[in-house]
Amino acid sequence: MSNFYYQDGTLMVEGLSARDVAQAHGTPAYVYSAQALREGLGTIQKAFAAIDPLVCFSVKSCPNLSVLKLLVDHGAGLDVVSGGELRRALQAGAPPEKIVFAGVGKSREELTLAIQQGVLMFNVESTAELERINEISGGLGRKVQLALRVNPDVADETTHAKTSTGGRETKFGIPLHHAEKIIADGGFEHVDICGLHVHLGSPLSEASPYLLAIEALEQMEQRLAAAGREIRYINVGGGYPVSYASPGQSFRPVLEIGQAIAERLQGFRARGKKFVVEPGRSVVANAGLLLCQVEYMKQGWDHKIAIVNAGMNTLIRPTLYGAFHLMWPAQHDGFTGDWEAVARLPAQGLEKVDVVGPICETGDYLALGRSLPAMKSGDLLAVFSCGAYGMSMASNYNSHGRPAEVLVDGSEMRLIRRREVYEDLVAFEVDLLK
């Protein structure tokens, strides 16, 4: 966690203290480290160096325009799943030929916009979608590139049921044998089916599901080649893991998995294929934290409760996925940021608390039964590894404005999304009051 560290017991984000960020922009706030974002992208590029892929950052994990621009400026392409994300990608300066467009429900408007803008390719999820793209593409006098998203029926036991996407029971992709038949039969005049795509889930903690899926793709690609149907692109999706419990070691898992996948893709490489990867979480999760403040400490029947000003409306992962996020007060005298030591600490000096938000739901918590140093009203609490699927899944539930987003680069900070105010909450409502 070199960009988030404790100095004399004070949490620092690069060259600034978390306290300074909170004083400048209030809480709750998502705070990103520019250096960590660059390192996150660099790690993916390094992990997959052996196959030199186009790295398309998954916009849905962290769609802030400034974050996208920073990544695009460092060579990233972008993976989008809606017209809104496509427009963000273009506004952030991504060249269309480095944008891939996925998602099971692309509308006519979204497809038309993407074809007109000239995206690299679509990842197609059904025959009905293929027919629709063929029709729109023909109408516009184009021939668009696309990859079929194959459902390889590779179930992954290591991820949460809500984030596993490679199994036969999910809504994703086209069953393997069916995809093969579509390509073998041909017959769609206005599209060029040039790629095979898989995305198995998020996060996957082992390489084996990828390796199984790649093996299935390779057999299929070779059968198709023998029948005279050439595939040029292999896209292995995203879902590469990060360490949530120990942010300091965040890059080890993705390096190991990436290298194993790249190794398994060497056969494709030898036959001249090009590659796309679509990492989201592994680039940004450990580049952001959520800074919040304790409103009240309270004693329940038999447990202590810390009520903070961020809840499931701010960070839904704990209650939606049972996700673990490391958290710690931003000021803890004597603390050096040694998380391994924290894990070994005897519970003395710490107290078990439920860390909950202001929302009127029992499921509104950031952590249950967590051992933390004693806190009091007004203390700042940092929730780590929140860069991915944090702000992007935040809501206005209970009519709270969504938090600010701040980007720290060295000893400078920039507000990259202002905190929402009441006027934002009601801006779209039709006025029947007059």
By CB under 6 A, is residue 279 in contact with ligand PLP?
yes
By CB under 6 A, is residue 214 in contact with ligand PLP?
no
Mask for 74-113, x = binds ligand PLP (CB under 6 A) = -----x----------------------x-----------
Q: Could you say which of 63, 83, 152, 237 contacts ligand PLP (CB under 6 A)? A: 237
By CB under 6 A, is residue 203 in contact with ligand PLP?
yes
By CB under 6 A, is residue 60 in contact with ligand PLP?
yes
| Residues from 303 through 332 that contact ligand PLP (CB under 6 A) | none
Minimum distance from CB of 198 to ligand PLP (Å)?
9
- Nearest residue to ligand PLP on Cβ basis: 280
What span, in angstroms and rounded, lies between the C-alpha atoms of 254 and 260?
Answer: 10
Cβ within 8 Å of residue 58, ≥6 positions away: 79, 238, 278, 279, 280, 281
Catalytic annotation, pick one of 62, 194, 292, 360: 360
Interacting stretch for ligand PLP, rule CB under 6 A, among 15-23, 55-63, 85-93, 356-364? 55-63
Nearer to ligand PLP, 388 or 413 (CB): 388
233 assigned binding-site residue: no
Going from the C-alpha of 307 to that of each of 167, 229, 294, the distances in angstroms are 39, 60, 6
- Total of chain residues touching ligand PLP, rule CB under 6 A: 18
Nearer to ligand PLP, 240 or 268 (CB): 240
Mask for 171-200, x = binds ligand PLP (CB under 6 A) = ----------------------------x-
Minimum distance from CB of 375 to ligand PLP (Å)?
31
Cβ within 8 Å of residue 295, ≥6 positions away: 307, 308, 309, 358, 377
Nearer to ligand PLP, 110 or 278 (CB): 278
Sign of CA dihedral 81, 84, 90, 94: negative
Q: Could you say which of 258, 280, 318, 337 contacts ligand PLP (CB under 6 A)? A: 280
Mask for 366-405, x = binds ligand PLP (CB under 6 A) = ----------------------x-----------------
Judge whether 62 and 284 are in contact, CB under 8 Å.
Answer: yes
By CB under 6 A, is residue 409 in contact with ligand PLP?
no
389 assigned binding-site residue: yes
What span, in angstroms and rounded, lies between the C-alpha atoms of 122 and 217?
Answer: 18
By CB under 6 A, is residue 210 in contact with ligand PLP?
no
The count of C-alpha atoms lying within 13 angstroms of the C-alpha of 431, restricted to the half-sphere facing its C-beta, is: 3
By CB under 6 A, is residue 278 in contact with ligand PLP?
yes
Nearer to ligand PLP, 237 or 288 (CB): 237
Minimum distance from CB of 278 to ligand PLP (Å)?
4
281 assigned binding-site residue: yes
By CB under 6 A, is residue 58 in contact with ligand PLP?
yes
- Catalytic, 292? Answer no
Nearer to ligand PLP, 102 or 292 (CB): 102
Nearer to ligand PLP, 166 or 329 (CB): 166
What span, in angstroms and rounded, lies between the C-alpha atoms of 78 and 55?
Answer: 8
By CB under 6 A, is residue 293 in contact with ligand PLP?
no
Name the site residues for ligand PLP (rule: CB under 6 A). Answer: 58, 60-61, 79, 102, 199, 202-203, 237-240, 278-282, 388
- Residues marked as binding? 239, 278-281, 317, 321, 361, 389
State the catalytic residues: 360
